[in-house]
């Protein structure tokens, strides 16, 4: 019986890993729960797609602590920082993976240079509906 339980646990872990990998590969469409992107360190999460809008959260210096899900994008204020230039802003819900009592921050915006998607806009992320 313990051997069967071990096989089931391994099968469950493999299935879970496959789901995470398919979600992070960008197979989901805009606004779909389960599509996750990481935020860069020192990212400002804002109320609207532009630097003039109030920052609700700064992700600080801890890498991979914050992620967004339900992500879509718009073309907004162009920003150049750290040698990167884009006018893409991503909207979604931001989660703190260390302190779950903080957030989630819903319907917030992060500049494309602070979102780990590869290129802006990412092929796997759709345009925001409104």
DSSP per residue over 3-35, as a string? HHHHHHHHHHHHHHHHHHHHHHTT-S-TT-TT-
Rounded to whole angstroms, how far apart are CA atoms 67 and 101?
15
Q: What is the number of structural domains in the chain?
A: 1
- Give pLDDT tens digits for 62-73: 878 898 998 999
Q: What is the pTM of this model?
A: 0.71
Would 24 be classed as within a structural domain? yes
Record the tokens describing residue 88, joined without a space.
């893409």
Q: Which residue has the tokens 């990481």?
A: 38
Would 123 be classed as within a structural domain? no
- Give pLDDT tens digits for 29-81: 333 444 678 898 889 999 999 999 989 999 888 878 898 998 999 999 999 99
Would 19 be classed as within a structural domain? yes
Would 129 be classed as within a structural domain? no
- Largest Cα separation within the chain, whole Å, is 61
Would 126 be classed as within a structural domain? no
Would 104 be classed as within a structural domain? yes
Would 86 be classed as within a structural domain? yes
């Amino acid at each position: 019986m313990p051997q069967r339980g071990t096989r089931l646990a391994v099968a469950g872990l493999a299935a879970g890993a496959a789901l995470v990998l398919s979600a992070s590969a960008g197979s989901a469409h805009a606004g779909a729960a389960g599509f996750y992107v990481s935020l860069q360190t020192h990212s400002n999460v804002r109320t609207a797609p532009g630097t003039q809008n109030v920052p609700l959260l700064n992700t600080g210096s801890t890498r991979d602590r914050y992620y967004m899900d339900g992500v879509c994008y718009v073309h907004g204020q162009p920003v150049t920082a750290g040698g990167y230039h884009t006018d893409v802003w991503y909207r979604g819900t931001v989660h703190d993976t260390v302190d779950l009592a903080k957030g989630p921050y819903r319907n917030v915006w992060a500049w494309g240079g602070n979102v780990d998607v590869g290129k802006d806009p990412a092929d796997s992320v759709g345009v925001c509906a409104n």
